[in-house]
Structure 1
Amino acid sequence: MELGSILHFLHDKTILIAGATGFLAKILLEKILRVQPNVKKLFLLLRAEDTKSATHRLHNEIIGKDLFKLLKEKLGANFNSLVSEKLVLVPGDITCEDLGLKDSILREEICSQTDVIVNLAATTNFDERYDIALRLNTFGAKHVVSFAKNCVKLKVLVHVSTAYVSGERGGLILETPYHLGDSLNGVTGLDIDAENRLVQGKLNELRQEGATTDEVKMAMKDLAIARARAYGWPNTYVFTKAMGEMVVEDLKGNMPVVIVRPTIVTSTLREPFPGWAEGVRTIDSLAVAYGKGKLTCFLGDLEAPVDVIPADMVVNAMLVAMAAHAKEPNDRIYQVGSSVRNQLRYQNLQDYGLRYFTENPWINKNGKPIKVSRVTVLNNMASFRRYMFIRYLLLLKGLELANTAFCQYFHDSYMELNRKIQIVMRLVDIYRPYLFFYGAFDDMNTEKLRMAAREGGVETDLFYFDPKDIDWEDYFMNIHIPGIVKYIFK
């Protein structure tokens, strides 16, 4: 493939970003504005009823974040001018046809001007309601592709998925596409429209039964997990994202489409500054719980690989792929991760966490440092269940001794304890596949993209995405964990 300056490619381009309030979307937006302020226009599709609510989301959920502080310092008073000149807010909703655009004039403007569409809209909750996940991750992808077909100047559509659409497979996992009806376990009959009808039928049934809001929520979550596992996927997120890829593959026609599959996305390595993070993301939930002294037991294999990749590297890969395929229209899947070229293991994470929080203990609300120790690691579900059962009995006995004179209080405490145990077991069941995951994500296409970038005049100092460049010890000890503490610990 032919490649040249990415800055030159971005010059005078119009880009539509769907899911603009998301973690990667914000980093992408900041990067473009910072390195190429001469981009022509950035349409930001925001889930909002009108321009007023979209503007509120822009200021509170995007440019009001610390992520943009470097750009604000660089531009000073000109920052607001850049925002008003380059950003166009698009109130809409990808779960609707035509992306939910009510303003026909704005819709025509987007369709006539857009060079690139980047779809980053998704729910990443592993245990999401099926109706919500299906609307966003699957039918949202369908609506974006359908809309893209009306964009007369479109050069490429970048659809961001996840490497974990592979399910629980081990070995080398290739950058291969999914097609309608595919499953991971050989079960036939997966029909996306039928899945939607199943959801609507279940919702109607629950309404007729007078189910409460909580009952509907749990029924939708349970249905999602059951349907995912029926076809070989471990959770709702990866199942609905895989179906999203199927839809894109089926509907794209002659449209140049790039599918980017990142692994576990972590805080920024370098840009706009090291360690920026937002939200409790996968492995970060372990770091938060551990640093606060609440994680004493861990289920998993410490020798298993854990594939993480800094967010700025994912964004750089997206930008380089975007430019490459706009110049040479064809389709490609890019898995962006580290397990093949610079492997990290859970053992490393345990060691880094212990060292960091021993040297930099979290101070609790009483002003006392939290002492951490090495976590008890159990390597199978049977051992974990026994561990939780013993803790349950001990805590129950403590409640009984403390509350013999307060029966109602004892009952309430017992119910709360039981609820927490059930939540923990459900989460463990959902995350278990990744704690014993032995696959490595092939990134041959991504490596070819890196080679083309090195040989083709790309500004590789600005658009770096080679995991070999990461020193994991330095990254976790001096960048990622400090970033989690600064931006996520509450």
Structure 2
Amino acid sequence: MSLNLATESSEKNKLAGQPSFQSISEFYAGKNVLITGITGFLGKVLLEKLLWSCPQIGHIFALMRPKRGESIGARLDSLLASKLFDRLRQDRPDFRSQISPLQGDLFEPNLGLSQKDVELLIRNVSIVFHSAATVRFDEHLKIAVQMNLEGPKKVAELCERMPHLEALVHVSTAYANCDRRVVEEAVYAPEVHPQKLLDAIEWMDDDVLEQVTPRLLGQKPNTYTFTKQLAEFYLTDRFSHLPIVIVRPSIVGASWQEPLPGWVDNFNGPTGVFAAISKGLLRMMQGDVRCKADIIPVDIATNIIISSVWNFRLFSRQATVYNAGVGPGNRLTWGDVERITPEYFVCNPTQSVIRLPKASFTTNSLWCNINWLFNHQLPACLMDLWMYASGRRTVFVRVSNRIRKSTRSLDYFTSREWVFNNTNVLSAMDRMSPSDRLEFDCDASKVDWRLYLERYCTGVKQYALKEDLDDNGSARAHIRKLQRLSLMWNVLLCVLVWRFTLKRVPLAHTMWVLMLNLAMSLFEKLPRLARS
């Protein structure tokens, strides 16, 4: 959008009695914000981006809980010491003064907040970003409901008491409605009413609940997507009087550009897969190489979250749902992931690689299981046997089982493809000034996927695995050794096939001899062909 269009929008807003056109940074100026899930991957990037791109923002309150004996203040200091906040430390060393951690817990009544903190939030906060959730796909239904459904309910109940509330942003997932192939920017009614499930959770014991979970899930693959859909419907139904904005990122991956290219600090989703590939621990998983890998860089997802509030308040109160996916163009497929990530990790290896990095997807579940048995479990058992014989702790079978469990939870998403229509996101982009389009880039259609995957792999090595990028000499030497061992193994395999198969089967033996004779005759003719 040009500046002329921005001016035109400003004039229309004045005539309609609405605020004049504001940049996104101006919109957030002076506003106090509450963020839940600030210690999560997306929450950290959201915090950093708000402080960096909206420097005039008021105060940011962060709902946190103590962990392993560490106070919320110490946890916040540890979080802010991350490289993620390097540019803020260099530009504004006092940025810490804009953040106040508040002790709370989504599992507790009233979010575990003290009365003093409740009054502080009610009096001051105008925008709430709720990003806290359990993202474990195999979470027990009771915990998933308490975190992903009852948690948003408690946040909304607090928001009801805020007289200055402008928006409650609920971070959901594009896969909340994964039983539909085409997902619009709309809230869909679930088969189970959320309140009935909340009531049942109160009296139903864990064993009974576990037995009925498959029936409750219906066509949903896991408790995560199930409870996320319930939360969307419950918020817009029970709290329809609140200014609710729902943002649905697809698969959130490492950053594309900001604040550091390739930044990622956990092993959820594709990050865990890439890390396992880099170490040679994962070589095959179920998936369709033709299907779209809808990975949205975390910085683009964050920009959509921030700009959605601006668009909702200034332009379109009807635009309450934003599908933060890649969009229809610029496809990244699982086939691209299969090809690019092993190439990168062979050229830029991680430390302590077990086998040569290699990855493949298959839609054949039987072949996948056979491959897992002989190409993963059997080598893991042999390596553990060697570890045991040398008096060291066995780890490989346990790690292999953990990787298997993790990848199986992704099978549903790597074997299917969805269309996430993103009209509201595109409309918000059209309303941005050119400078806002640069500062709050929401356009995933222009991402160079090869470069992005290379940055992602670098981020896995540098930030997730915490390895030194400059210390590659020994790792590359180890890779060359593994390449030689792989060549020796393939030669040995050919010899064994010849010895025990081809030599004993007359037809196979005849075909082998014919192929050798044909090859020899071609070699003999090469000099004559070259002279002619």
TM-score band w.r.t. shorter chain? 0.7 to 0.9
Deviation at 1:196, TM superposition (A): 3.9
Take 1:16 and 1:462, find their aligned partners in 2: how far apart are those partners? 22
Check conservation: 2:286, 2:414, Cα contact below 8 A: yes
Q: Which has the larger radius of gyration?
A: 2
Q: How does 1:380-419 map to 2 (within 5 A)?
A: 380-390=364-374, 417=397
Check conservation: 1:313, 1:464, Cα contact below 8 A: yes
Deviation at 1:58, TM superposition (A): 0.9
Deviation at 1:192, TM superposition (A): 2.9
Query: 3-state SS of the aligned residue for 2:101?
Result: strand
Deviation at 1:271, TM superposition (A): 1.4
The residue aligned with 1:53 is 71
Check conservation: 2:345, 2:357, Cα contact below 8 A: no
Q: Identify unmatched segments of 5+ residues in structure 1.
A: 184-189, 207-218
- TM-score after normalising by structure 1: 0.82
Take 2:357 and 2:384, find their aligned partners in 1: how far apart are those partners? 29
Choose which of 240, 244, 249 in structure 1 pairs with 2:231: 244
The residue aligned with 1:161 is 172
Deviation at 1:276, TM superposition (A): 1.2
Aligned residues: 444
Choose which of 325, 349, 364 in structure 1 pairs with 2:312: 325
The residue aligned with 2:30 is 12
Take 1:401 and 1:20, find their aligned partners in 2: how far apart are those partners? 43
Choose which of 144, 161, 173 in structure 1 pairs with 2:183: 173
Q: Aligned in 2, Cα 1:243/1:223: closer, same or farther, shift over 3 Å?
A: farther
Check conservation: 1:225, 1:235, Cα contact below 8 A: no
**Range that drifts further, 156-165 or 326-335:** 326-335
Deviation at 1:326, TM superposition (A): 2.4
Deviation at 1:342, TM superposition (A): 2.1
Check conservation: 1:130, 1:224, Cα contact below 8 A: no
Q: Write the letter of the residue equivalent to 1:99.
A: L
Check conservation: 1:225, 1:234, Cα contact below 8 A: no
Q: How does 1:242-321 map to 2 (within 5 A)?
A: 242-321=229-308
The residue aligned with 2:96 is 83
- TM-score after normalising by structure 2: 0.76
Q: Aligned in 2, Cα 1:90/1:466: closer, same or farther, shift over 3 Å?
A: same
The residue aligned with 1:209 is none
Aligned pair 1:486/2:462, yes or no? Answer: yes
Q: Aligned in 2, Cα 1:380/1:474: closer, same or farther, shift over 3 Å?
A: same
Q: Which has the higher contact order (CA 8 A, sep 6+)?
A: 1
The residue aligned with 1:445 is 424
The residue aligned with 1:345 is 333
Deviation at 1:314, TM superposition (A): 1.0
Take 1:139 and 1:393, find their aligned partners in 2: how far apart are those partners? 40
Check conservation: 1:341, 1:467, Cα contact below 8 A: no
Check conservation: 2:273, 2:407, Cα contact below 8 A: no
In percent, how many aligned pairs have the same letter? 26
Q: Aligned in 2, Cα 1:427/1:71: closer, same or farther, shift over 3 Å?
A: closer
Query: 3-state SS of the aligned residue for 2:329?
Result: coil
- Once the two structures are superposed, residues 105-156 of structure 1 have per-residue CA deviations (whole angstroms, 9 ceiling, x without a partner) of 3211211221111101111111112222111111001111111111000111
Aligned pair 1:71/2:95, yes or no? Answer: no
Choose which of 199, 218, 235 in structure 1 pairs with 2:222: 235
Q: Write the letter of the residue equivalent to 2:442.
A: F
The residue aligned with 1:134 is 145
Check conservation: 2:281, 2:376, Cα contact below 8 A: no
The residue aligned with 2:436 is 459
Q: Aligned in 2, Cα 1:305/1:40: closer, same or farther, shift over 3 Å?
A: same
Take 2:136 and 2:371, find their aligned partners in 1: how far apart are those partners? 27
Take 2:377 and 2:272, find their aligned partners in 1: how far apart are those partners? 26
Q: Aligned in 2, Cα 1:370/1:356: closer, same or farther, shift over 3 Å?
A: farther
Q: Aligned in 2, Cα 1:373/1:426: closer, same or farther, shift over 3 Å?
A: closer
Query: 3-state SS of the aligned residue for 1:123?
Result: coil
Q: Aligned in 2, Cα 1:168/1:240: closer, same or farther, shift over 3 Å?
A: same
Query: 3-state SS of the aligned residue for 1:265?
Result: strand
- Once the two structures are superposed, residues 402-457 of structure 1 have per-residue CA deviations (whole angstroms, 9 ceiling, x without a partner) of 99xx9xx9xx98x995x777656544442221121121211122111111224xx6
- Once the two structures are superposed, residues 283-324 of structure 1 have per-residue CA deviations (whole angstroms, 9 ceiling, x without a partner) of 111111111011122211111111011111111111111112
The residue aligned with 1:215 is none
Check conservation: 1:340, 1:443, Cα contact below 8 A: no
Q: Aligned in 2, Cα 1:115/1:300: closer, same or farther, shift over 3 Å?
A: same
Q: Identify unmatched segments of 5+ residues in structure 2.
A: 1-8, 14-20, 467-532
Take 2:362 and 2:318, find their aligned partners in 1: how far apart are those partners? 46
The residue aligned with 1:25 is 43
Q: Aligned in 2, Cα 1:399/1:28: closer, same or farther, shift over 3 Å?
A: closer
The residue aligned with 2:473 is none
Q: Write the letter of the residue equivalent to 2:177.
A: S
Deviation at 1:56, TM superposition (A): 1.7
